[in-house]
């Protein structure tokens, strides 16, 4: 059922939008991964999975499961519920369990959708899951204009994978300071994919003053 739903949603996405996948060569082969992405719309999980093989899982707020049809659909696409704002540690256990069973995991560190398209402050959930599972983190950037419309051009950009062992000791009880370093790394990579290199600061033009002095 998973692959049938994934195929149908993939067709629907390609009809609704103009998709361009970039950096698919960065996706590690021979292992499943944690895909950490910016968050623009509820369509983000199937958009990210466009370039993925095999199964994938993602967290979805529990309210989305109240609609029977939509809840059935996202469940068959790999979603599992999370209670936002309640410190639900069980959801982290579920995420690690899904990874251990061979599924990719999609996670949105910002925790909520960005209304202006920019990347905002992230949380350490993906870092905790990476530290506990040892799986690489692949930063992802979903890029399009201000509003998502029919045939909107969307770029899904897969960045260079991050080995959590380079930042944190892989353990069931990771060091909080090390987790922050890992979080800062993948958030910086996501921001770079979405917003590009920051423009260099312009130095003041003193040419007029120099001419006056002459």
Distance CA 168, CA 174 (A): 7
Distance CA 49, CA 47 (A): 6
pLDDT in tens, 39-91: 999 889 989 987 788 899 999 888 889 999 989 989 988 999 887 655 568 89
pTM, full prediction: 0.88
Confidence at residue 4, expressed as pLDDT on a 0 to 100 scale: 87
Domains annotated on the chain, with CATH: 2-213 (3.40.1130)
Confidence at residue 214, expressed as pLDDT on a 0 to 100 scale: 55
Pairing mode, if any, of strands 18-22 and 153-158? parallel
Please identify every stretch of the chain with a pLDDT value under 50, giving residue numbers as ranges: none
Q: Are 46 and 95 in contact (CB under 8 A)?
A: no
Distance CA 95, CA 90 (A): 9
Confidence at residue 204, expressed as pLDDT on a 0 to 100 scale: 67
The angle at the Cα of 164, spanning 159 to 170, to the nearest 5 degrees, equals 160
Distance CA 52, CA 46 (A): 10
Q: CB-hemisphere CA count at 13 Å for 109? A: 34
Burial of 172-187, coded b for 16+ CB within 10 Å and e otherwise, reads eebeeebbeebbebbb
């Amino acid at each position: 059922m998973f692959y049938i739903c994934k195929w149908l949603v993939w067709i629907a996405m390609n009809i609704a939008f103009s998709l361009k996948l970039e950096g698919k060569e960065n996706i590690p082969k021979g292992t499943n991964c944690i895909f950490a992405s910016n968050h623009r719309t509820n369509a983000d999980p199937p958009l990210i999975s466009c370039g993925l093989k095999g199964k994938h899982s993602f967290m979805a707020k529990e309210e989305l499961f109240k609609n029977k049809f939509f809840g059935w659909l996202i469940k068959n696409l790999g979603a599992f519920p999370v209670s936002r704002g309640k410190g639900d540690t069980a959801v982290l256990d579920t995420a690690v369990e899904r990874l251990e069973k061979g599924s990719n995991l999609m996670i949105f560190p910002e925790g909520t959708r960005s209304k202006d398209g920019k990347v905002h402050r992230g949380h350490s959930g993906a870092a905790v899951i990476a530290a506990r599972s040892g799986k690489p983190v692949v930063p992802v950037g979903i890029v399009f204009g201000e509003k998502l419309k029919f045939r909107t051009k969307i770029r899904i950009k897969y960045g260079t994978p991050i080995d959590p062992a380079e930042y944190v000791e892989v353990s069931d009880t990771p060091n909080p300071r090390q987790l922050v370093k890992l979080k800062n790394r993948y958030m910086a990579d996501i921001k770079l994919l979405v917003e590009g290199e920051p423009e260099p600061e312009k130095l003041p033009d003193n040419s007029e003053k120099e001419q006056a002095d002459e």
